[in-house]
Structure 1
Amino acid sequence: MASAVLDHDPPPKHLDEDEDNDCPIEQVRLTVPTTDDPSQPCLTIRTWILGIVGCVLLAFVNQFFSYRSNQLSISSVCVQILALPIGRWMARVLPPTIIRIPLLNWSFSLNPGPFTMKEHVLVTIIASSGSGGNYAVGIVTIVKAFYHRGINTMAAMLLTQTTQVTIFTPLNPPLKKKQFLICFFFLRSPVAGIRLGRIVQEILGGFSVHVCDSIQCRALNEEERRPKGGLSRLQFFLISLGCSFAYYIVPNYLFPAIGSVSVLCLIWKNSIPIQQIGSGLRGLGVGAFAIDWATATSWLQSPIAAPPFVLVNVLAGYVILIYILMPLCYWTNIYHARRFTFLTSHLFERGGAPYDLDRILDAESFSLDVRQYESYSDIYMSTFFAISYGIGFATLTATLSHVFLFDGQYMLKLWRQATSKANEKFLDVHGRMMKANYAAVPQWWFLVILVSMTALSIYACEGFGGALQLPYWGILLAIAMALFFTLPIGIIGATTNTFPGLNIITEMVIGYILPGQPMANVVFKTYGYISMSQAITFLSDFKLGHYMKIPPKSMFVAQLVGAVIANACYFGTAWWLLTSVPNICETDLLPPDTPWTCPSDSVFFSASIIWGVVGPYRMFGPGSIYVSLNYFFLIGLLAPVPVYVFHRLFPEKKWIRLINFPVIFGATGMMPPAKAINYNSWFVVGFTFNYWVFKRHKQWWGRYAYVLSAALDAGTSFMAVVAFFALGNYDIYAVNWWGGVLDDYCPLANCPTEAGAYIPNGCPQIQ
């Protein structure tokens, strides 16, 4: 079998429940069994077929939705649920024929026996590569759709692959190879790690997602009896999927307006302040609601999967920004707030008109023309966009401060354990089982991929006429930054199931070093921030494989192949849409009922102007308009201190420890492009399921909640794709009536309220 060819494992040593379960993490100790069957096949032909098909479908659908007004993210849970009955069907119908591969001395069976749990996990891992997105595709999008420039196809393909497939290798010279519990590596990260991999993996061990995934996988694979008068999980999934599929024709085609209903705007149709307060798409969203699952999950993970204390922290951060800071800043006219659109990521000149980028950008060098910039106008942001950057600054320093205060001693303990000569004691029962039964990934596998991907990264940046503008040392600096932030972000993610967006720091660093070069800025940001972010995501998948006793070599190959295939699909889908949908992303030229507004790429484009074209010194440096936003760095640094002090003074008050300022500040990290209606809907669904349903129907919640979330995602996405090919290809996006547009009918919410400001179309003159 293929798995046997890959693993070359030592003779299996079966461990059972008699083994002392000394796992230090209680959730894992109570839910993950200490049993393993090393004879189970892993990388079979069924694994590859189901995993690759699932990966391709997820990558296509997720990239497809990334350009739409209501962006959806479909998780690998859909593939996990559907793969099980298909895999069992293949085990029944495929013949046990042995296929031999010439020259390679490899062979595999078309049917090695029953479909195993390990096959099921690996199918999910391969498919999950298609659910995370590819940040580098955003570079291709803004170059083609916003800057209206060409980009070399080969350079673009190299960029999308190298930012995602370079390995975080476990270089650990003082330790022997045989002492590795597992191969600590990161797909998607151009970083060579030292002992950090072991420490981060130990921290991620208690990540609730791993435990939930492990429980769900075992629950699906166990022989499930249909409850009397009830449904099995698979039956519930299929019924919910069908209902979601059928219903989404309403908000997607028949009645898009229910994606955001603003009650105040329907009552006060001629009041700018009331519409700014009541609009869910352009304002504060007071009284706004939606009857659309896509609205609740467009920019945030499923609210059903969010732990209750995270819901409370996110709600606190949302209220602080939207209902305290934003009204205070706008109606006191901070940063000339009343001169510009209320909530937008678009950029303006000093009079309030849209900023004409062509006037300051040199067409040949694709860089800032300083003389033209100084003679034209500084760049102005809406106060909401400016404050959101300030909140981003606070998130960065709050993360470092929180981790230092609350987890500093724990990190030091882990470091000492990882570097101790007696590191055999570092292994818990699961580590001892993995070491006894499976061989580690050879060091040279990592080194080959690391060296080749780093070389290709440098070639992509230095080659092709230097079109990407980033010199070779920029790659190395991005690597160093990714290494530095991996540990604190990993800790926040492990404890809260949320990951603060720290892309701002990478933009800022390269913006100071290479101002006026937008391509260098976005490329550096991608290699730095996304390498760190995706590194943690992929290591968390590897930790799931560790708990499910997947051979490290099989896990390595599955993740690598999945990443390469997913990246190719992301790029191909994006290139197809960018060349086939007329005026994609150009909202001024698109018809009003089109969904192809590219909200996330619009924010990415604005950020490339702020940090790349103009640069942080001109935007946030001494004498600049927004210099006072730098105080948010200090606010974020100090905010966790009183929480820590009260936690030490009153350790019996467990709720104090749950106040998490990195989550509070990072709560609105998706705004923009996310709107108030997205957060309102997210909170309603989250609190309904995780408080009301959980308390009153706990057994139902435990059995069906996550299955329902996956089914709603899948049904919604499948209908949107079907509607696009059936109707969108003919430029038919909705029924032609007042409810046929995704609009809350609050047009005045976009109007300025300062006398003498630029007046957009449809807005009244302010006296």
Structure 2
Amino acid sequence: MPNLREKAMQRLKGGMRKDLEDLLDIGPQTDYLFDMMSSLSVDEALQILEAAADYHSDDPNFPSETLRIIAIMLKGEEAYGTDHESYILDVLLEATLIKFHSPYPEVRAICDPTDDPSMPVETIRAYFLGVVWVAIGSFINELFNFRQPSLKLRSTTLQILLYPCGKLLEKILPDKGITLFGVRHSLNPGPWNFKEQMLATLMVNVGSGSTNFMSYVLTMKLKFFFNQSWVAFGFIFLLNFSTQFMGFGLAGVLRRWVVYPSKAVWPPSLLPTLMLNRTLLLPETGRNIHGWTISKYKFFFICLGASLLYFLIPGYTFTALSTFNWMTWIAPQNKVLAIVTGSSLGLGFNPWTTWDWAVMNYSNPLAIPFFSACNRYIGMLFAGLLIIALYWKNYKWTGYLPINSNGTFNNKGSAFNASQIVNNKLELDLEKINPTHLPLFPWVI
């Protein structure tokens, strides 16, 4: 088809295919995609679409509207309902994005379809910054993990801190290095780039968090818990690493099903990380998107300032907005209302539970797919109704306990004393266990 690119651009600019507006970005990546589109025949494109429709038929991340359009395309030009030229253009455009880029619009928005192999990745400074911030992040996260309120250096914060550190090393380090196996490794190979930032980000994402095992270590070692003096560094190191390597090992064993397939992507674990690094490292495009021409940095600082100012309201000025128990205000003395609708000690059946973004963002709602959020909340709804029924039936005498608590209780509703069922060595004493000395747990912990 002559003038393929011009005709395709005219169709996109006319708003005929809003789901394919990725191609409106003029640049080397767009040139590459149009070159690939020119190399495809219509029959090849239809085969690509047929394979994609079959592969992504049960993919919850694949846009349902795109899947519907592909299904109509495969039925033929008459079913598609456009002229011959528009049908061919749309088939080629869709197949090009699926084969030579990504079938997911979210991925296309933050990733390029081509790679620059000349860009250095495993540089000395990238490993240096990765190790340094892993040490700092893991130390702070572990130190404050058991304190209330806890303080955490999340991966997004570390990403932002990595960028100025990388730019600083770019300015101060000399271009000196060593050559190993014919490859020169320099302290300063050039500008701090996207790949170096991504490598350091992967390191801090994997290594800076605290592990669940450390809470067991504290319980075993501290004097006011089990005071087990044999819990030493060797035991902690080996058991901690073995549990972590077990997770990585399972991921490796199951990589054929949970890593390699493109539809196995989990948006919250990938897309925000890539998007932030892209925002920090790549230059502005200057595009006019729905009338918006604001730069990413200006938009970021406006949102940052607005969120900080707003946080003062539920965080300090009017803290009741954080856990917004407005339904219990209707009848403050009503125990049933507090149990069902209360956010702190109740089940939280409340249509508007908070005005605090820190509380709203607890489950990362902007990144988690809608189907997953719905599945979670539907499960919580059914579980809550079941808990209410069993609680009011006083099943296993749980009606005498708080419905929502992280504590354990004895048969009189008081805090359970674990020393009643252990011996002098803080070991479980089976002879001391009887029905009156068993811990009781609330329905919601």
- The Cα of 1:120 is off from its aligned counterpart by 1.7
- Aligned partners of 1:276 and 1:342 also within 8 Å: yes
Aligned to 1:236: 299
1:198 aligns with 2:275: no
Aligned to 2:406: 345
Aligned to 2:66: none
Give the Cα separation in 2 of the matches to 1:68 and 1:295: 18
Aligned to 2:94: none
Aligned to 2:62: none
Instruction: Identify which of 326, 341, 358 aligns with 2:419.
Output: 358
Aligned to 2:175: 97
Aligned to 2:359: 295
Aligned to 2:265: 207
Aligned to 2:73: none
Secondary structure at 1:139 match in 2: helix
- Can you list the C-alpha shifts for 1:604-648, whole angstroms capped at 9, x where unaligned? xxxxxxxxxxxxxxxxxxxxxxxxxxxxxxxxxxxxxxxxxxxxx
Alignment of 1:196-345 (within 5 A): 196-203=254-261, 206-209=264-267, 210=270, 213-214=273-274, 217-218=277-278, 220-225=280-285, 230-245=293-308, 248=311, 251=314, 256-287=319-350, 289-298=353-362, 300=363, 302-322=364-384, 324-345=385-406
Aligned AA for 1:285? G
Aligned AA for 1:316? I
- Aligned pair in 2 of structure 1 residues 145, 329: CA closer, same or farther (>3 Å)? farther
Aligned AA for 1:319? L
Give the Cα separation in 2 of the matches to 1:56 and 1:237: 28
Aligned to 2:233: 154
Secondary structure at 2:259 match in 1: helix
Aligned to 1:512: none
- Can you list the C-alpha shifts for 1:531-561, whole angstroms capped at 9, x where unaligned? xxxxxxxxxxxxxxxxxxxxxxxxxxxxxxx
Give the Cα separation in 2 of the matches to 1:51 and 1:208: 24
- Can you list the C-alpha shifts for 1:553-611, whole angstroms capped at 9, x where unaligned? xxxxxxxxxxxxxxxxxxxxxxxxxxxxxxxxxxxxxxxxxxxxxxxxxxxxxxxxxxx
Instruction: Identify which of 78, 87, 102 aligns with 1:28.
Output: 102
Aligned AA for 2:403? F
Give the Cα separation in 2 of the matches to 1:139 and 1:263: 38
- Can you list the C-alpha shifts for 1:325-346, whole angstroms capped at 9, x where unaligned? 1221111212212211221232
Give the Cα separation in 2 of the matches to 1:377 and 1:105: 71
Give the Cα separation in 2 of the matches to 1:297 and 1:131: 21
Alignment of 1:567-582 (within 5 A): none
TM-score norm. by structure 2 comes to 0.64
Secondary structure at 2:412 match in 1: coil
Give the Cα separation in 2 of the matches to 1:58 and 1:241: 22
- Aligned partners of 1:96 and 1:112 also within 8 Å: no
Give the Cα separation in 2 of the matches to 1:193 and 1:295: 34
- The Cα of 1:124 is off from its aligned counterpart by 1.2
Alignment of 1:229-628 (within 5 A): 230-245=293-308, 248=311, 251=314, 256-287=319-350, 289-298=353-362, 300=363, 302-322=364-384, 324-364=385-425, 366-374=426-434, 376-382=436-442, 384-385=443-444
Secondary structure at 2:300 match in 1: helix
- Can you list the C-alpha shifts for 1:322-372, whole angstroms capped at 9, x where unaligned? 2x11221111212212211221232222232322210111231x4321111
Aligned AA for 2:138? A
User: Structure 1, unaligned stretches of length 5 or more?
Assistant: 1-15, 169-185, 386-671, 673-767
- Aligned pair in 2 of structure 1 residues 251, 33: CA closer, same or farther (>3 Å)? closer
- Aligned pair in 2 of structure 1 residues 320, 260: CA closer, same or farther (>3 Å)? same
Identity between Structure 1 and Structure 2 (%): 24
- The Cα of 1:119 is off from its aligned counterpart by 0.8
Aligned AA for 1:380? L
Give the Cα separation in 2 of the matches to 1:107 and 1:198: 35
Structure showing greater relative contact order (alpha-carbon pairs closer than 8 Å, 6 or more residues apart): 1
Instruction: Identify which of 115, 119, 127 aligns with 1:48.
Output: 127
- The Cα of 1:146 is off from its aligned counterpart by 6.4
Query: For this pair of structures, how many residues does the alignment match?
Result: 343
Give the Cα separation in 1 of the matches to 2:438 and 2:431: 12
Give the Cα separation in 2 of the matches to 1:192 and 1:318: 28
- The Cα of 1:64 is off from its aligned counterpart by 5.2
Give the Cα separation in 2 of the matches to 1:343 and 1:28: 45
- Aligned pair in 2 of structure 1 residues 292, 357: CA closer, same or farther (>3 Å)? same
Secondary structure at 1:347 match in 2: coil
- Aligned pair in 2 of structure 1 residues 354, 121: CA closer, same or farther (>3 Å)? same
- Can you list the C-alpha shifts for 1:200-228, whole angstroms capped at 9, x where unaligned? 32246541424665566445543214568
- Can you list the C-alpha shifts for 1:109-162, whole angstroms capped at 9, x where unaligned? 232012222112102101212554311111123333862524534146415641
Alignment of 1:169-184 (within 5 A): none
- The Cα of 1:242 is off from its aligned counterpart by 4.5
- Aligned partners of 1:70 and 1:295 also within 8 Å: no
1:76 aligns with 2:137: no
Larger-Rg structure: 2
- Can you list the C-alpha shifts for 1:66-110, whole angstroms capped at 9, x where unaligned? 33556676542333345445534543x234431459x99997423
Secondary structure at 1:274 match in 2: helix
Give the Cα separation in 2 of the matches to 1:290 and 1:54: 34
Aligned to 1:119: 196
Give the Cα separation in 2 of the matches to 1:49 and 1:197: 29
Give the Cα separation in 1 of the matches to 2:271 and 2:236: 36
Aligned AA for 1:272? K
- Can you list the C-alpha shifts for 1:662-686, whole angstroms capped at 9, x where unaligned? xxxxxxxxxx3xxxxxxxxxxxxxx
- Aligned pair in 2 of structure 1 residues 128, 39: CA closer, same or farther (>3 Å)? same
User: Structure 2, unaligned stretches of length 5 or more?
Assistant: 1-31, 57-97
- Aligned partners of 1:57 and 1:130 also within 8 Å: no
- Aligned pair in 2 of structure 1 residues 90, 242: CA closer, same or farther (>3 Å)? farther
Secondary structure at 1:202 match in 2: coil
- Aligned partners of 1:71 and 1:294 also within 8 Å: no
- The Cα of 1:232 is off from its aligned counterpart by 2.7
- The Cα of 1:52 is off from its aligned counterpart by 3.4
- Aligned partners of 2:173 and 2:187 also within 8 Å: yes
Give the Cα separation in 2 of the matches to 1:212 and 1:63: 24
Aligned to 1:435: none
Give the Cα separation in 2 of the matches to 1:325 and 1:303: 25
- Aligned partners of 2:315 and 2:356 also within 8 Å: no
Give the Cα separation in 1 of the matches to 2:125 and 2:358: 32
Give the Cα separation in 2 of the matches to 1:297 and 1:72: 16
Alignment of 1:652-731 (within 5 A): 672=445
Give the Cα separation in 2 of the matches to 1:342 and 1:375: 21
